[in-house]
Chains A and B, each alone.
Chain A
Amino acid sequence: MNKTSNPKAWWFVVPVLALVAFNAFIPLMTVVNYAFQETFGDNVFFWEGTTWFEQVLRSDRFHAALGRQLLFTGMILAIELPLGIAVALSMPRKGPWVSVCLVLMALPLLIPWNVVGAMWNIFALPDIGLLGHMLNSMGFDYNFTRQPVSAWMTTVVMDVWHWTSLIVLLCYAGLSSIPDAYYQAAHIDGASRWAVFRYIQLPKMKRVLTIAILLRFMDSFMIYTEPFVLTGGGPGNTTTFLSIDLVKIALGQFDLGPAAAMSLIYFLVVLLICWAFYTLMMRGEEQ
């Protein structure tokens, strides 16, 4: 759509700006304050320069948490994307079952995050939970509170359970915008199932898939509540992702300087990757 130039349109944006700036700018400045200064309370600050940043960037603990975070985000994207596309492709297009499928699939998305954690905790308890009991009675040695591998698998499966529906719904929206005529033409041409997917369905899903990757990347990189309730970051530190580690440093040990520096680095990493995605998406949109 070609837009008209109108400087007065700024007035339309003022309420949004005021509210978001109040919530974003003041807290961000507080974080910046703590990141460059040392405080012993009483609002007395000493300039520390970039000490905290160097400390965080050199610490093995931060590297380990960042590594776990990247591995986790990579794993859930690698599972959720293909699974979501597969489910969306095989969903019914019309009829009463569409609504039933959509409502049931969207259900996990509306459960409070700590309830998701608690639910999976109950589900996976080795002796009395449905999953834990089934796995153990099938002869697997499974205990997510003691074994790092079990804890990791449970966390990843929980995220797949929680968020794959988002990708299904997005892809479904993309697929339902394809006119029937495209499929009829493909049928007349004798196109294979793969060709239909590759040349008709995938291009139509490109936009929504970009949004899906963007949202899933952002949210999984910020994940806190679900793994915190499920495993508490354990056993040991094996499922301590960036947010969990950050809260441990800031509120557990009250090391505000390093925590603030880590916050800024963390935020910048998310911002940088999202900016790259966003630029790609907007470029795709202009074509």
Chain B
Amino acid sequence: MTHPRKWLVPSLYIVFLMLPIYGLLAMSFKTTNEILGGFSFFPQDFTLENYTVIFTDPTWYNGYINSIIYVVINTVISVSVALPAAYAFSRYRFLGDKHLFFWLLTNRMAPPAVFALPFFQLYSAIGLFDTHIAVALAHCLFNIPLAVWILEGFMSGVPKELDETAYLDGYPFWRFFIRIFIPTIAAGIGVAAFFCFMYSWVELLLAKTLTSVEAKPIAATMTRTASSSGYELGLLAAAGSLTIIPGAIVIYFVRNYIAKGFALGRV
């Protein structure tokens, strides 16, 4: 099975994936003069100035903190409400269960552009505009359905005998759920949390619509700075490179489950 040519396809593919990332990284270490002066594959005038600006200017680093705050809140809310719901969908039949499941999925299909303006009005009306919680709640629209879908897949892989044995042993339901069931599907919870993190981290349209100053995400800081202070490509590249790091860290933690997770726990 290990034909030498087999290495070629994945290797070429990975090179293709890394090229734009390399372009971004290389540019983040260049000075503005060098960038505008013409093309160079390696930074000639290696500088950390762009990163210094980001780490010393509060409007920049607060963007990162804001993004991480709402992403974490969203992940916690999404996974904790999705857990009991996914259990119900995987174990019980009840009135309208299939329709409900599909209705949940339709929210994953709603184009965010459709909801941008109504969300702005809704969250302004209830006084949550420009708060982290507003973005976290808005992202629940597509993250909860996804979390329910993934968790339901993983839970359906756990034999029902586990529940029945615990019941016969006299475990009250909630103790069984927290002490036995949740540890059993820990991998599934990790994967669901990873996906909530991912989709909340990469989304910009809603996050930008629902914030102005206090909770402005890093991605929005980037677009605004790029347009207001001319085109500072080096700074933009440095900020972009830094947004890759949180993703890389969470991928590392779920690397062994990631493939199964993308299949929504249903392989």
Contacts and interface: CB of A to CB of B under 8 A. Distances in A.
Contacts of A250: 113, 116-117
Given A20-B145, A111-B243, A130 B23 contact: yes
A258 B85 CA distance: 37
B114 to A, nearest CB: 4
A78 interface: no
A39 interface: no
Given A1-B160, A128-B38, A271 B247 contact: no
B137 A19 contact: yes
A209 B99 CA distance: 23
A107 B263 contact: no
A92 B84 CA distance: 37
Interface string B201-225: 1111100000000000011001100
Interface stretch (B43-51, B54-62, B179-187, B253-261): B253-261
A99 B201 contact: no
A91 B38 CA distance: 38
Interface string B1-21: 110001111100110111111
B264 A211 contact: yes
Identify whether the interface residues of A are mostly helix, strand, loop, or mixed.
helix
B27 interface: yes
Interface in A182-210: 183, 207-208
B65 interface: no
Given A130-B23, A225-B204, A267 B111 contact: yes
Contacts of B82: 16
A231 to B, nearest CB: 15
Given A110-B247, A114-B222, A207-B267, A16 B259 contact: no
Interface in A130-182: 130-131, 133, 161, 164-166, 168-170, 172-174, 176-177
A26 B118 contact: yes
A251 interface: yes
B243 A20 contact: no
A28 B97 CA distance: 22
B114 A266 contact: yes
A112 B113 CA distance: 17
A20 B107 CA distance: 8
Q: Which of A86, A110, A211 has the most CB of B within 10 A?
A: A110
A103 interface: yes
Interface string A251-271: 100001001000100110011
Contacts of A59: none
B24 interface: yes
B222 A115 contact: yes
Contact of A16 (B35, B81, B244, B252): B81
A4 interface: yes
Given A208-B263, A243-B111, A130 B203 contact: no
A115 B240 contact: yes
B236 interface: yes
Question: Chain B interface mostly helix, strand, loop or mixed?
Answer: helix
Contacts of A243: 111-113
B175 interface: no
A169 B111 CA distance: 24
B114 A267 contact: yes
Given A110-B247, A229-B223, A101 B267 contact: no
A44 interface: no
B255 to A, nearest CB: 5
Given A24-B110, A246-B113, A112 B204 contact: yes
A87 B14 CA distance: 10
B93 A3 contact: yes
Contacts of A106: 251, 258
A218 interface: yes
Contact of A242 (B111, B116, B119, B240): B111
21 contacts: A1-B90, A4-B91, A7-B94, A13-B85, A16-B148, A20-B141, A93-B1, A102-B258, A105-B17, A106-B258, A114-B222, A118-B226, A122-B23, A123-B23, A127-B39, A129-B39, A131-B19, A131-B20, A169-B262, A225-B204, A271-B106
Interface of B: 1-2, 6-10, 13-14, 16-24, 26-27, 35-36, 38-39, 41, 77, 81-82, 84-85, 87-95, 97, 100, 102, 104-119, 121-122, 137-138, 140-141, 144-145, 148, 156, 160, 198, 201-205, 218-219, 222-223, 226, 233, 236-237, 240, 243-244, 246-248, 250-252, 255-256, 258-260, 262-264, 266-267
Given A5-B92, A122-B23, A174-B267, 10 more contacts: A3-B90, A3-B92, A7-B94, A10-B94, A12-B85, A13-B89, A24-B110, A28-B118, A107-B251, A130-B22
